[in-house]
Amino acid sequence: MKKVMVLGSTNVDTILGIQRFPQPGETLAMNSRSVAGGGKGANQAIAAVRSGAQTAFISKIGHEGAADFMLETFKKDGMNIDHVTMSETAGTGQAYIMVDEAGQNSILIYGGANQDITIADIHQAEADIKNADRIVAQFEVPVPAVIEAFKIARANGVQTILNPAPAIKNIPAELLAVTDMIVPNETEAEIITGIKVTDQASMQKNAEAMFKMGIKVVIITVGDKGSFYATPSQTGFVPAFKVTAVDTTAAGDTFIGALSTQLEMDYSNIEVAMTYANKASSIAVQTKGAQNSIPYAKDIQL
């Protein structure tokens, strides 16, 4: 059983079902509205614990009742939430997700309490970081906190996985220096390197650019096509499972969380781990919502 630490966001998602995305200045009626748990960090942590990892989570929420059902979900899945703390100044993060009839989404994020995660919070979690096999983080929380967590991890032989989302153009060199693996989607990869992803050759060029930044292993996810990988010794492409998508929310988070539970520390089974992660993601997109759509290991049969 892998020991996975996740540092990241907790959001309450408001999901708006629409026929199509509105044009500027246009008013459209919604088909549906629902509320569910979300946040990239929480999604990835839930995906990890549901795939059997011993999972701990560093996050921050507000005092309002909106966060209570999030904590109940974490507890129900058996997650270590010792380091999910409450902000004194901000409410729980919020996401407003528009999902069209083809299952594609557009998302607006209010950071809220997620932006209150500090270096002091990271130090409070230091013992659990040191005890992990790997730590996963994203950019929905302050970058200085991610840097500090990855520094502690690197100093203690803990593998670091960065999901650079939402993408930032100039990732601090200080963070890249302590990142073992990076997992962007095609849009995020282009923002980071300036190289547009159009085919496997361009994915390879992206990976080579990221290698020069100090990254050891690169995985680029490309939605319903699958995912590309590059390590110092091999490259390849793992195709997606063909399904009818209802809602792609949390697909990438499910992939990363599931991957973190299966990947050997030396990356020797990277294609098998990515196939498992692709399968988990393909299950998630067949249900509306984020965390409620994330599958358990028993449902992910290869």
Residues marked active site are found at 253
Query: Are the C-beta atoms of residues 80 and 56 closer than 8 Å to each other?
Result: yes
d(CA 287, CA 257): 18
Comparing C-alpha atoms, which of 284, 248, 256 is closest to residue 48? 256
List the structure tokens of 210.
């990221």
Residue 100 annotated as binding site: no
247 annotated to a ligand binding site:
yes
38 is in an annotated binding site: no
14: annotated binding-site residue?
no
> 107: which strand partners?
97
Q: Is 222 annotated as a binding residue?
A: yes
Write phi, then psi, for 129 (nearest 5 degrees): -65, -45
Determine if residue 13 is labeled as part of a ligand binding site: yes
What residues pair up with 185 in beta bridges, in sequence order?
221
Name, in order, each residue with C-beta under 8 angstroms of 88's C-beta and a sequence gap of 6 or more: none
Residue 11 labelled as part of a binding site: yes
Residues 6+ apart with CB under 8 A from 125: 5, 56, 58, 82, 83, 149
Is residue 185 marked as binding? yes
The answer to the question of whether 252 is labelled as a binding residue is: yes
| Strand, helix or coil for residue 98 | strand
- Give the whole-angstrom CA distance, residue 274 versus residue 114: 29
Was 67 annotated as part of a binding site? no
Q: Which two tokens stand for residue 156?
A: 């203690």
Tell me the H-state helices in the chain.
Answer: 40-50, 68-76, 119-124, 126-131, 143-155, 173-176, 186-193, 200-212, 251-262, 270-284
DSSP state of 220: E
Residue 157 assigned ligand-binding role: no
According to the annotation, is 293 in a ligand binding site? yes
Instruction: Considering only CA atoms, give the Rg of the chain.
Output: 18
Determine if residue 43 is labeled as part of a ligand binding site.
Answer: yes
Residue 223 marked ligand-binding: yes
Binding-site residue ranges for ATP: 185, 221-226, 252-253, 278
Binding-site residue ranges for substrate: 11-13, 39-43, 140, 253
Binding-site residue ranges: 11-13, 39-43, 140, 185, 221-226, 247, 249, 252-253, 278, 284, 287, 289, 293
Binding-site residue ranges for K(+): 247, 249, 284, 287, 289, 293
